Structure 1
Amino acid sequence: MPSAPPEQDGKKSQHHPASHPEDDHQCSVSDQITDSVAQTNVATMGAGPGFAALQSMMGQAQSQNILMANMVSAQKQNAMIGMTTMTQSILQMMKRRS
């Protein structure tokens, strides 16, 4: 009795004829290669936002550095003005007594 053909329901047939040796040829790829390609792609895709955040943080750090330098300079100038004012006040007080 002849065998019935496999059912055609949109799925691949599970029937593998042994007469086609090219169908049995499979190309296997090493897991190391696929892992390295996946890691490279993820690293490349993840680098953009990381570099953008780094640039933003570097800009903020440089701005704060300039701000602190200006604050130190202003404090130094105020101290010099204060010492000069005190010296001039003492000289004027000493002149009045004599």
Structure 2
Amino acid sequence: MPSNSSAQDGNSSQQNQFNSNGNTEPHQCAVSDQITDCVALTNVATLGAGPGYAALQSMLGQTQSQNILMANMVSAQKQNAMIGMTTMTQSILQLINRRNH
């Protein structure tokens, strides 16, 4: 008997797909406004994310380049300071070792 009732449920759902006029054209399925809004917002968010990601990648590349530039500037400043100290030390040693005439 339970299989018979499920068959009747299937038949009733199939009968709901037909127009009340008796035509065999199926009803058009109504879509909820919430689903439509959700899909529209998802599509807009996807379209809007592309330029944002491109700008982010550009800024990230620029930041990394500036970090490397600053690191190179600090390294060059340190090397120049060492060369300056070495040159000053050598110059003072030459002045001290020079014979006074």
Could you say whether these structures have the same fold, taking a TM-score greater than 0.5 normalized by the shorter chain as the test?
Answer: yes
When the two chains are superposed, the root-mean-square deviation of aligned CA atoms in Å is: 2.3
Total equivalences in the alignment: 79
Of 82, 85, 96, the residue aligned with 2:84 is: 82
Larger proportion of helix = 2
Once the two structures are superposed, the pairs formed by residues 1-98 of structure 1 within 5 Å of their partners are 20=21, 27-97=29-99
Q: Partners in 1 of 2:70 and 2:22 — Cα distance? A: 76
Question: Could you tell me the TM-score, scaled by structure 1's length?
Answer: 0.68
Q: Partners in 2 of 1:79 and 1:51 — Cα distance? A: 42
Question: Which moved further from structure 2: 74-83 or 42-51?
Answer: 42-51
List runs of 5+ in structure 2 lacking aligned partners. Answer: 1-19
User: How far is 1:50 from its partner?
Assistant: 1.1
Q: Match of 2:78, as an amino acid? A: K
Question: Could you tell me the TM-score, scaled by structure 2's length?
Answer: 0.67
List runs of 5+ in structure 1 lacking aligned partners. Answer: 1-18
User: How far is 1:53 from its partner?
Assistant: 0.9
Q: Partners in 2 of 1:90 and 1:32 — Cα distance? A: 84
